[in-house]
Amino acid sequence: MINIETLMHLLDLLGTFVFGVSGAVAAINRRLDIFGILVLSFVTGNFGGITRDLLIGAVPPAALINAQYLLVSILAGFICFFWYAGIDRVRSPMLLFDAAGLSLFAVTGAEKAIEYGLSPVMSALLGMLTGIGGGMLRDMLITDIPQVLRSDLYAVAALVGASIVVIGHVVGLSYGVSGSVGLVSCFALRYMAIRYGWHLPVANISAQRRAEIERIDNER
Amino acid sequence: MINIETLMHLLDLLGTFVFGVSGAVAAINRRLDIFGILVLSFVTGNFGGITRDLLIGAVPPAALINAQYLLVSILAGFICFFWYAGIDRVRSPMLLFDAAGLSLFAVTGAEKAIEYGLSPVMSALLGMLTGIGGGMLRDMLITDIPQVLRSDLYAVAALVGASIVVIGHVVGLSYGVSGSVGLVSCFALRYMAIRYGWHLPVANISAQRRAEIERIDNER
Amino acid sequence: MINIETLMHLLDLLGTFVFGVSGAVAAINRRLDIFGILVLSFVTGNFGGITRDLLIGAVPPAALINAQYLLVSILAGFICFFWYAGIDRVRSPMLLFDAAGLSLFAVTGAEKAIEYGLSPVMSALLGMLTGIGGGMLRDMLITDIPQVLRSDLYAVAALVGASIVVIGHVVGLSYGVSGSVGLVSCFALRYMAIRYGWHLPVANISAQRRAEIERIDNER
């Protein structure tokens, strides 16, 4: 029988793989070479966790100690390199895998921050950061504004999942229970955001001000 | 009576707030959603200090231990979200607040680096980094070249303020004295740079070479 | 007689200088002011090593402890500022210096990671990161996609040099031998990549898919 530790670890590797695929696809779309593809694959799957580890003082970061993360990332990169057309066709299932990766990273990230003694609020935020950090650097490396800053309920889903783990810890639930509820909640929220096109609000700007901003942007 | 520690802490929070506002306004101008606004607000107000703390080995960084910084950043983000039109109208006073934030971060950043045993020169540079780091990541996240790399005496003002603290430490002045002088000097320099349009020089490029660079840029 | 430690340190400073020049030239081409030039000079010459030091837990990073790196970076920045036309003319020799800097950073970076107890594979990757990290942040600061992600055998040369050091360590060679072989191999590979235009492959994309990507990019 498989225990919860092993299961979480396998899911963690699955999350790394799926995020790796999203990084590799972004790299291919920008015509990066095979090295650039592997870098974006690794960065997207691991940078969130690396940043969390640096911030909580867990150095060297887990992604640099356990070579499995590297291997999984490289695998994702090579698969995309050789079967781009195939990967490109399965985009909808990929979105679900990505939601699974996000959920898992948010939950495990929050748990690790708690273990390192951070406050509940900060642990929830670090869980969210673990989930979204990789995709943010992926977008910055290809000079896009990070999608997570302007797309549908992505970071919020991660924050909800991480918060459930943290609240569970505060009220004394076992990690098995709070982690599972966090996972499912994050995934469900993200799924519904994709399914029904839920977005966060943007601020109101007067038409006049908006025209002014666009004029300034164009002058650059 | 309010003591100097409390005063510095209050000014520190004020600096975080004002930088948070500048991050939120940048996010709104780029049509980011409310999550993106809050992220840019937090990043602009805290990333300089977080980077300094990572570099000197003060982990977890102060901004992740004391929740007041997070609260102030979120407050700044929400205020901008709901009253953008109002915030947008008070830009000149905001520049002064921003100069105050810069001065304060430069001074407290240098002091913290000294406390952690860094050399005088590096402490001054880390003070400057504390002041300018948040704005740099703000600009990178919205894919602008950081303003501080090409605008008027911004970083130099921070460096002057931080250097005064460091020199004061070397010659044995109390932090109350050197910190105050550093604060006022940085603020005055930044104020005059805005008021009189002082700029740093750029390198001379021949007209021929400049045309060549522009041609290469356009071909991309 | 000069010993190997001193020689490596001198070469390290030379690498910092040459990378500093490449950062300063990039800054001048983008019309940054003298402060921006100095920042890019420092970042390009030191960020790779700083990132490595943060990841392996060597804080404060060496570049912040030993002021020689700062001095060399500033020197590179000022030389470019005052003699841009001259520097711009010697581009081919500069490419060779850059290859020397890359080789050296890859070798010393891998050695340092080994000393801090990282695994052979991760030490090789951290050696590569030491060599390419500075140039990556340089490009991100001026909002370019990092050249190393899509140019000729640059990172691969660094990885080969770093791997030789690591393999030498595993099989018990002295650092003097493995370091020298690593240096020469990285330099030779990089030189030949420049000389013969060797590139890494990019993924195959159908013409239809490529047109679609371009259309999406243009709509942004």
For C120-160, the pLDDT digits (tens) are 999 999 999 999 999 999 999 988 888 888 776 889 999 99
Q: Which chains touch C (3 or more CB pairs under 8 A)?
A: A, B
First-to-last alpha carbon distance for chain B, in angstroms, is: 61
Interface contact B204-C143, CB threshold 8 A: no
What's the pLDDT score for residue B218?
A: 61
Residues of chain B with pLDDT under 50: none
**Cα angle at A117 between A112 and A121, to 5 degrees?**
80
Q: Which two tokens stand for residue A8?
A: 């979480």
CB pairs under 8 A between B and C: 85
By the 10 Å C-beta count (0-12 exposed, 13-18 middle, 19+ buried), A143 is classed as middle
Q: Which chains touch B (3 or more CB pairs under 8 A)?
A: A, C
Interface contact C204-A84, CB threshold 8 A: yes
**What are the φ/ψ torsions at residue C60 (nearest 5 degrees)?**
-65, 150
What's the pLDDT score for residue A55?
A: 95
Contacts of B84 in chain A (CB under 8 A): 203-205
Could you tell me which of C220, C107, C83 has the C-alpha nearest to residue C157?
A: C107
Q: Given a cut of 70, is residue C220 above it in pLDDT?
A: no
- Average pLDDT over chain C reads 87
Q: Rounded to whole angstroms, how far apart are CA atoms B115 and C216?
A: 51
Summarize the confidence of residues A47-73 as an average pLDDT. Answer: 94
Q: Choose the mutation target among C42, C59, C81 for the interface with B, i.e. most B CBs under 10 Å.
A: C59
Q: Rounded to whole angstroms, how far apart are CA atoms A157 and A146?
A: 16
Q: Which single residue is written with the structure tokens 């001095």?
A: C71
What's the pLDDT score for residue A166?
A: 97
- Tell me which residues of chain C have a C-beta less than 8 Å from any C-beta of chain B: 27-37, 39-40, 50, 54, 59-61, 64-65, 67, 70, 80-82, 84-85, 88, 140-143
Q: Are B133 and B47 in contact (CB under 8 A)?
A: yes
What's the pLDDT score for residue B60?
A: 93
Q: Rounded to whole angstroms, how far apart are CA atoms C157 and C99?
A: 9
Q: Rounded to whole angstroms, how far apart are CA atoms C81 and B201?
A: 10
- For A206, other C-beta atoms within 10 Å of its C-beta total 11
Q: Given a cut of 60, is residue C95 above it in pLDDT?
A: yes
Three-class secondary structure of residue B202 per DSSP: strand
Q: Given a cut of 70, is residue C39 above it in pLDDT?
A: yes
Q: Rounded to whole angstroms, how far apart are CA atoms B64 and A49?
A: 16
What's the pLDDT score for residue B219?
A: 56
What's the pLDDT score for residue B195?
A: 87
Confidence at A196, pLDDT banded by 50, 70, 90: confident
- Tell me which residues of chain B have a C-beta less than 8 Å from any C-beta of chain A: 27-37, 39-40, 50, 54, 59-61, 64-65, 67, 70, 80-82, 84-85, 88, 140-143
Interface contact B65-A122, CB threshold 8 A: yes
What's the pLDDT score for residue C149?
A: 86
CB pairs under 8 A between A and B: 85
Cis amide bond preceding B201, omega within 30? no
Summarize the confidence of residues C83-96 as an average pLDDT. Answer: 74
Q: Which two tokens stand for residue C4?
A: 């190997």
**Cα angle at B42 between A109 and B149, to 5 degrees?**
115
The full 3-state SS of chain A, as one line of letters, equals CCCHHHHHHHHHHHHHHHHHHHHHHHHHHCCCEHHHHHHHHHHHHHHHHHHHHHHHCCCCCHHHHCHHHHHHHHHHHHHHHHCHHHHHHCHHHHHHHHHHHHHHHHHHHHHHHHHCCCCHHHHHHHHHHHHHHHHHHHHHHCCCCCHHHCCCCCHHHHHHHHHHHHHHHHHCCCHHHHHHHHHHHHHHHHHHHHHHCCCCCECCCCHHHHHHHHHHHHHC
